[in-house]
Amino acid sequence: MPAGRSLIITLSFLLWFSFTITKPLSLASAYSGEEPVNDVNGEPLVADQEYYIMSAVWGEGGGGVKPEKTGDASSCSYSVLQENSDLNKGAPVKFHVQGTSTDKIYPGSTDLEIEFAEKPDCAESSKWVVAFESGSSSRVVIGGPEDHPDSELVSGVFQIEVFNAIAYKLVFCPGGNIVGSSSSGTCYDVGVEYKKEGSRNLVVEKHNSGNVFMVAFVKRAESGKGKFSII
């Protein structure tokens, strides 16, 4: 093998090895719950700052999340959808910590309210809520009862949990039981449901069936809405 080609392969391996060792260790340390949730640059998430929630699976994993109108023309029903392409970062969100004064977010213990940084004009709010549905999952939507007159909204909070060494996941913890579930005080995975028309809807899995939206967090750039960095 030519010396130049051997050097390129060696350097490529070292870069790959460095990424796969250092990156998982920084995230794996959060398993204990003592380390805060970090963004893709290894910086702790800060409450009330703006972040993109991106798929941690590049390629076929899709992109970021966004609000999109899913009701008829006369309604203001917006659901939380995932971008089909990983080139699209979606819309930034803010995490509001509930019940404590800290601005750090800890996996599996910090109760959160999530909202999009910008609200659709007709919506009551950009806050994420869950609209109960009779099937195995319920939709993640935004707004209030006036925006979803035909749905029962479930009260509760969101949390961020460590999924594995390279990804986090979102969970929803209802104030009471989700109808159709038998456990009290349980948090339920947020997954992605693929619709026939091609959309990817964020849903809460009532029975934690394994449908998990593996996510990473990208801080919105200080200047320039279109600028962001992913390692």
Question: What predicted TM-score, i.e. pTM, was given to this entire model?
Answer: 0.78
Question: Does residue 224 carry a pLDDT above 90?
Answer: no
Q: Which residues of 59-72 are buried (b: 16+ CB within 10 A; e: fewer)?
A: eebbbbbbbbebbe
Both tokens of residue 51? 């972040």
Other beta carbons within 10 angstroms of residue 42's beta carbon come to: 11
For residue 98, the one-letter residue type is: Q
Per-residue pLDDT of 72-124, as tens digits, reads: 777 788 999 999 998 999 999 999 999 887 899 999 999 999 999 999 888 88
Quick one: pLDDT band at residue 10, thresholds 50, 70, 90? very low
Residue with tokens 């939380």: 80
For residue range 34-87, what is the model confidence (pLDDT) as tens digits? 799 999 999 999 999 999 999 999 877 899 999 999 877 777 889 999 999 989
> Please, which residues have CB within 8 angstroms of residue 18's CB and are 6 or more apart in sequence?
none
Look over the chain and give the mean of its residue pLDDT values, rounded to a whole number. Answer: 79
Residue type, position 200, single letter: R
Judge residue 181's burial from the number of C-beta atoms within 10 Å of its C-beta, 0-12 exposed, 13-18 middle, 19 or more buried: middle
Cα 73 to the chain's mean position, in Å? Answer: 28
CA terminus-to-terminus distance, the chain? 31
